[in-house]
Structure 1
Amino acid sequence: MTGAAGVFRALHHGRAPEDPLVLPGPWDAASARAFEEAGFPALATPSAGVAASLGYEDGATPADEMLAAVARIARAVSVPVSADVEGGYGLAPKELVARVLDAGAVGVNLEDSRAGTLLDPRAHADRLAEVRAEAGGELFVNARVDTFLRGGTDPEDAVTRARLYVAAGADCVYPIRVPPEHLPLLRARIDGPINVAPLPGGPPVGELGRLGATRVTFGPGLLHRAMVAVREIADQVRRSS
């Protein structure tokens, strides 16, 4: 698994600014196969997308069901899969790492807020350090930074958290919902890859890369687009019956 995680880690380095790593978010095995067949070198599961596919609200999926879904996705493809496990479901770092690895994932997303409230950044950095110590090189750790998601507007707050998380061993940081105009500052102040999700009406993938994104993920956005197509098909079937 260290080899697979190493392959995944290498995808984040040595990239041209206009060529960020694009990781689509599969919500089940079928979507994972479609993304692999399209030529993407790796995938990143979105917790909200998986939750919707299982009939749960975002944040309400039990750990067993989330990890079982990740395992089905990882088994269905030959490319590396990173798993969004939200806040870690209250699992101790040793158990969390073991269960993510058992599911076949080579990376993990961990967020720094709970129930809508930001966690203490130093305490969260300590938890990330424990996860890093348990995983060694076998997991790519993507530390989500929720300052903008929770209403913050000062990019310095995101920088402070991100730098703590990188120092604790995070391979990448994910300032979710970062306004694009703040990306150059974050790029200049953070020593490591930066994950960005496109905002509605915001810059396209290539421009996000030029602004400072190392990798681009989509959360549940691709599932939402697929569901629009499903509803259109359903309407066509209904009208023809």
Structure 2
Amino acid sequence: MHTPSASQLRKAQAFRDRHYQGDGFIIPNPWDAGSARLLAQTGFEALATTSAGLAFAQGLPDGAVPRDRVLAHLSDIAEATDLPVNADLENGYGDAPEAAAEAIRLAAQAGAVGGSIEDSTGRADQPVYDIGFAAERVRAAAEAARALPIPFMLTARAENFFIGRNDLADTIARLQAYQEAGADVLFAPGLRNAQDIATVVRSVDRPVNVLAGFGGMVLNAQDLFALGVRRVSVGGGLARAAWGAVQRAALEMRARGSFSYLDDAASGAELNAMFRPHAAPRP
């Protein structure tokens, strides 16, 4: 059995408590150790990995990174700062409920104090699992989480809106089934408008996570907190913003031979100061 460090125990309890105390919070998504350190020094209270951000950094599409590499990346993020880390575990890297359970156990071993399991299959012919089977997968993940020696926060994701199936009734039914199966946090990425989000929040009794900025959403964090949302993440948004900056810089150099993109670049002195050993997390 995984034996947690005192640091992981402390992070796990702080992460659980934060979902129920005070106002809602933003949990940004770094894609490597450096971005994790930057976000930690900016003052955020917790971090979450992003499957998309990791995949893009590997030159791969989202969902194409194998489990072992995902876990190594998770360990790097967890060790980079003294903040709690929630793991994006996609669909658990297998259809069977046992695969979802194993993903939770391995994520905790890698240093995570929370993790998400989604109901997306990755197959065009059946993009989401049948609701009953999806709930079985969440139940297995919840049982694995409860067996851990830390208060691990399990997030269950209903992917309908994220994959273009804008069925609010089915999404709510799924979230309610996942709640009954033992999920600690509920998440339906792809929700865009205040009415749908408020309806979801009213329909469940667990903390709700919302993905900000997806598909033209204009609601800010305070708007979402006012609707009852407890946690706001950005998924691959930060990584895509960084890639967008590199893309614009590359096009500028190629088309005009100019370098004005450097006007918005962080200075080497700032980055060196941020990453010096004295800025490392406490042991």
Q: TM-score, normalising length from structure 1?
A: 0.91
Q: Are positions 1:83 and 2:96 aligned together?
A: no
1:122 corresponds to: 132
1:182 corresponds to: 196
Structure 1 counterpart of 2:114, which letter?
G
Instruction: Choose which of 107, 110, 113 in structure 2 pairs with 1:103.
Output: 110
Tell me how far apart the structure 2 counterparts of residues 236 and 107 of structure 1 sit (CA, whole Å): 42
State which structure, 1 or 2, has the greater radius of gyration over its C-alpha atoms.
2
Q: Percent identity?
A: 35
Tell me how far apart the structure 2 counterparts of residues 32 and 130 of structure 1 sit (CA, whole Å): 30
Seen in structure 2, the aligned counterparts of structure 1 residues 168 and 195 have a Cα distance that, compared at 3 Å, is same
Q: TM-score, normalising length from structure 2?
A: 0.78
Q: How many residue pairs get matched?
A: 237
SS in 1 for 2:161: coil
SS in 1 for 2:258: helix
2:275 corresponds to: none
Tell me how far apart the structure 2 counterparts of residues 224 and 151 of structure 1 sit (CA, whole Å): 20
The question of whether the paired residues in 2 share the 8 Å contact of 1:162 and 1:173 is answered with yes
2:169 corresponds to: 156
Tell me how far apart the structure 2 counterparts of residues 167 and 6 of structure 1 sit (CA, whole Å): 22
CA RMSD of aligned residues (A): 1.9
5 Å-filtered alignment, 1:16-95, equals 16=23, 20-90=24-94, 92-95=99-102
SS in 2 for 1:170: coil
Tell me how far apart the structure 2 counterparts of residues 152 and 236 of structure 1 sit (CA, whole Å): 40
5 Å-filtered alignment, 1:150-229, equals 150-180=163-193, 181-198=195-212, 199=214, 200-229=216-245
The question of whether the paired residues in 2 share the 8 Å contact of 1:118 and 1:150 is answered with no
The question of whether the paired residues in 1 share the 8 Å contact of 2:89 and 2:103 is answered with no
SS in 2 for 1:27: coil
Q: Are positions 1:11 and 2:9 aligned together?
A: no
Structure 1 counterpart of 2:81, which letter?
V
Seen in structure 2, the aligned counterparts of structure 1 residues 51 and 119 have a Cα distance that, compared at 3 Å, is same
CA shift, 1:232, in A, is 4.7
In structure 2, the gaps of 5 or more residues are: 1-7, 260-283
Tell me how far apart the structure 2 counterparts of residues 29 and 152 of structure 1 sit (CA, whole Å): 34
CA shift, 1:220, in A, is 0.6
Deviations 1:143-185 (A, max 9, x none): 1111212333332211111011111111111111113221111
SS in 2 for 1:82: strand
